[in-house]
Structure 1
Amino acid sequence: MTPTIDVARLADLLREAARREILPRFRNLSEADIREKTSATDLVTEADEAAERFIARGCREIMPDALFVGEESVAADPSLLHALDAADLAVVVDPVDGTANFAAGVPLFAVMMSVVVRGETAAGLIYDPLGDDCMLAERGGGARRRLPSGEETTLRVAPPLPLSAAVGCVSYTYFPGVLKRAVLPRLERVKVTGNYRCAGHEYRLLASGGAQFCVYSKLMPWDHLAGALITEEAGGHVGKIDGSAYTPRDREGTLIAAASEESWHAAREALFSDA
């Protein structure tokens, strides 16, 4: 039996976490509040950790039977990723997606959550603390934008365009060297390419009709489960470049999320054929 998921309550939880723990720290961090994890561009801040603790407490009240898998929790206990693969019900959270932007005072960061039921993403939410709205989706129920008033509007992806007129977000940081050398020269085939350093806002752009595709490697679940589901429920197409479906068990590989199956194939052919 599929559990009932109260996405409106979960959206309210993300909003409250941002109001209490994230926004008061934005452009108000000391040097001691920012730490490196694996490199100078892989950071964690006091806001990440405080927001994750706040969201975890809220999830225990809303979904007491769910395994909680947060980005910072996994940093402390990597075995949680294996537990996610076996869980009947789990909540996956990125408390501050775009931490490097947040730490630098750049107003481009998001809070992301997905609900995974027996290995399938059942719900996804991406909250924008500065815009104060949440994009959310439930599998089979479409995608929508939820305003602070509670009013919701339907999300739809953009119609297909030739790549010469298309907008794409390409996050190539974690591409293997061979793939990076093959793909970067091919970006000239796309009208506009960008990298927000924040997958949450790139998925929001895609799901609301502002781009034709996004490309990612290093497929950590907190970075992509919510955005992939929202894209699909807004009418888009998501898959790994080998043609396989993207699932919560995927950690490696390269992912294309696109506004349509036509746009997905166009991006794959132009950027990754023979790469």
Structure 2
Amino acid sequence: MNIDRLAAILKQAAKQEIMPRFRRLDEGMIHTKTSAFDLVTEADTNAERLITAAILEHAPDTLVIGEEAVAANPALLTSNLEDRITIYVDPVDGTANFAGGLPLFAVMAAVVQNGEPVAGIIYDPMGDDFLMAEKGCGTWQVFPDGRRVRMKFADPVSLAEMGGAASTTYFPPEQRQVILGNLGKVRMLAGYRCAGHEYRFAAGGSLHFLAYGKLMPWDHVAGALMMRECGAHVARFDGSVYRPGDTDGGLLVAPDKDSWNELRREVFTV
């Protein structure tokens, strides 16, 4: 599917199903999945339904794997990605922010062909702009008026000067304690409860690292591709290449391999 057509579908879902519900959710429209930090709303389910139907209308042979569809049918997560085109969809990334009325959420999609990520989109409904990447073509911010700006990851700095974002929620408790202590070695730590916006922020050169303990493809396939396309070093904690089928092993993003190795050795000692 053409990336611009896919972007238009995400924008349509946001306009039709997400934004009309922002700060208008009644109590019965918000539900807990696995914890108080893992929520789903009517905006998530309705937007995913619209996105899936629109993709299949234009590309009926595509396998669409959405976050809420997997919640209902976990077997989808182990689908064979070879010899086909798969599109991962996160209808509302940052649902807890959305449900709490915080304007920091995104709509994301990643296109995988024969098991390899080839395109990614992160749409910000509040700013009405896109972060977009195609393999080998760089990462771009696309504004409502059509203006495009190429993104570049931050240049390397010393560990003591680094600022980044890390989601430590899904590390085992003993590892989380060590990592949180080690993060005192960097200058600044942030956590936005929205991987989409963390990837957007990093793509603009405003963060020196990103770290995640849990990998769901709708959260990270698009963002990892974007980070590579804007010059970052991206790998799982064991140094291996992150692939769409990976759901564990963590993910660490840094300006270059030397910075990655230093962060892995000094901070993320998992």
| Mapped contact 1:97–1:112 kept (Cα < 8 A) | yes
Out of 25, 28, 31, the position equivalent to 1:29 is 25
| Mapped contact 2:92–2:105 kept (Cα < 8 A) | yes
- Partner Cα distance (2:37, 2:179) in 1: 22
Match of 2:268 in 1: 272
| Mapped contact 1:211–1:259 kept (Cα < 8 A) | no
Give the secondary-structure state (helix, strand or coil) at the position aligned to 2:210: strand
Give the secondary-structure state (helix, strand or coil) at the position aligned to 1:91: strand
Aligned residue type for 1:182 = V
Provide closer, same or farther for how the CA distance between residues 159 and 110 of structure 1 changes in structure 2, counting only shifts above 3 A.
Answer: same
| Mapped contact 1:67–1:84 kept (Cα < 8 A) | no
Give the secondary-structure state (helix, strand or coil) at the position aligned to 2:181: helix
Provide closer, same or farther for how the CA distance between residues 236 and 53 of structure 1 changes in structure 2, counting only shifts above 3 A.
Answer: same
Out of 158, 162, 166, the position equivalent to 1:162 is 158
Deviation of the 1:8 alpha carbon: 1.2
Out of 111, 126, 138, the position equivalent to 1:130 is 126
- Partner Cα distance (1:259, 1:25) in 2: 38
Match of 1:106 in 2: 102
- Partner Cα distance (1:161, 1:262) in 2: 10
| Mapped contact 2:203–2:230 kept (Cα < 8 A) | yes
Give the secondary-structure state (helix, strand or coil) at the position aligned to 1:242: coil
TM-score (norm 2): 0.97
CA offsets, 1:136-178, max 9 Å, x none?
1011111101111222211111111112111110100000122
Deviation of the 1:26 alpha carbon: 0.4
- Partner Cα distance (1:198, 1:210) in 2: 16
CA offsets, 1:85-114, max 9 Å, x none?
456210100000000010000111011100
Out of 72, 86, 91, the position equivalent to 2:87 is 91
> How many aligned positions are there?
270
Provide closer, same or farther for how the CA distance between residues 89 and 248 of structure 1 changes in structure 2, counting only shifts above 3 A.
Answer: same
Matches within 5 A, 1:178-189: 178-189=174-185
CA offsets, 1:161-215, max 9 Å, x none?
1121111101000001221122110111010001100000001111111101100
Match of 1:53 in 2: 49
Provide closer, same or farther for how the CA distance between residues 87 and 221 of structure 1 changes in structure 2, counting only shifts above 3 A.
Answer: farther
Match of 2:186 in 1: 190
| Mapped contact 1:206–1:259 kept (Cα < 8 A) | no
Q: Displaced runs of 4+ in structure 1, greater than 4 A?
A: none
Match of 1:207 in 2: 203
Deviation of the 1:260 alpha carbon: 2.6
CA offsets, 1:117-149, max 9 Å, x none?
111111111111101110010111111011112
| Mapped contact 1:231–1:259 kept (Cα < 8 A) | no
| Mapped contact 1:67–1:87 kept (Cα < 8 A) | no
- Partner Cα distance (1:82, 1:126) in 2: 24
Match of 1:43 in 2: 39
Match of 1:238 in 2: 234
Deviation of the 1:77 alpha carbon: 0.8
Range 141-150 or range 69-78, more displaced: 141-150
| Mapped contact 2:48–2:89 kept (Cα < 8 A) | yes
Out of 106, 117, 120, the position equivalent to 2:113 is 117
- Partner Cα distance (1:84, 1:198) in 2: 28
Matches within 5 A, 1:11-22: 11-22=7-18
Q: Which runs of 5+ in 1 are unaligned?
A: none
- Partner Cα distance (1:261, 1:102) in 2: 35
Give the secondary-structure state (helix, strand or coil) at the position aligned to 1:272: coil
TM-score (norm 1): 0.95
Give me the CA root mean square deviation: 1.2
Q: Which runs of 5+ in 2 are unaligned?
A: none
- Partner Cα distance (1:190, 1:162) in 2: 9
Matches within 5 A, 1:246-257: 246-257=242-253
Deviation of the 1:64 alpha carbon: 2.0
